[in-house]
Structure 1
Amino acid sequence: MPLLPMTVSADDVREAANIIKAAAHRTPVLTSTQANALTGASLFFKCENYQRIGAFKFRGAYNAISHLTPEQKKNGVVAFSSGNHAQAMALAARELNVPVTIVMPHDAPRLNSPPHADTVPKSLFTIAKPKIVKRSPPIWQPSVV
């Protein structure tokens, strides 16, 4: 169940595609005769593992940051994630010259943690409270979807 009401129209998708087209890779769509035979259906596999950072999350992160107001871009974004959303927000923010702070859970897998993970503050609100920043959750946000 979504935390916030959300609708994404076909026009929203077309607008997002236009915004991200210069930054995101065009990833292939593959088929599998074996998978089709096993399922009795025509299956198509969108290979987002070929996307920048290895996941589709880059598309949403870039689109979301692109929709910020100039003031929001100046103040920066705070993203909380222990995986692909964190990597996607970091890359998109760097490319769009927007300050970003990534908050990861203290128990995130070591593989996903940056080398300086022990210096990451424990609370999103500790970081965001001193100034007004745009929070970017990994889900339930139309510009990320």
Structure 2
Amino acid sequence: MPTTLELLQAGKEAQDEEEARSPICSVESARSFIADNSPVPTENVTLDMCILRIDGFDKLYRLDLIDRDLEPQFDALVETFEKLDVARRTKFVFQLTIWKNHKSELNLLEYHRGLSYRFEKVHYCIGFCAEIPSEVCRFTSVSG
């Protein structure tokens, strides 16, 4: 049976591997990561993607993300994207759910559609929901 110290060291090694991994920058790479790795709920990833849509709810924010490389073409992309029916849109979107903090002053997020952000330490329930790759996280670290 491993000792507590051995378990801590193994956890630190896993963390180091996660932090060395390149950020996920596209919907396709997110799909590939999920399909190839079957990540466990405690595995962290970093997303570096462009915000297509933001929905705020009582306990969470839901963000639809698109490839970071599409940021310069955002206006033209949105115009075409909105003409598609919902079933055809799913292959172009990655969905990120951010649970709000109990302290309301920490929940003032200033995201802007069409800009790319880096979301670090994203984890928990990584998978597909209605064919949309999705991840859930508690608000930890975001940079613009």
Same structural fold, with TM-score higher than 0.5 when normalized by the shorter chain: no
TM-score range, shorter chain: under 0.3
TM-score (norm 1): 0.25
* Bigger share in helix: 1
Asked which structure has the greater CA Rg, the reply is: 1
TM-score (norm 2): 0.25
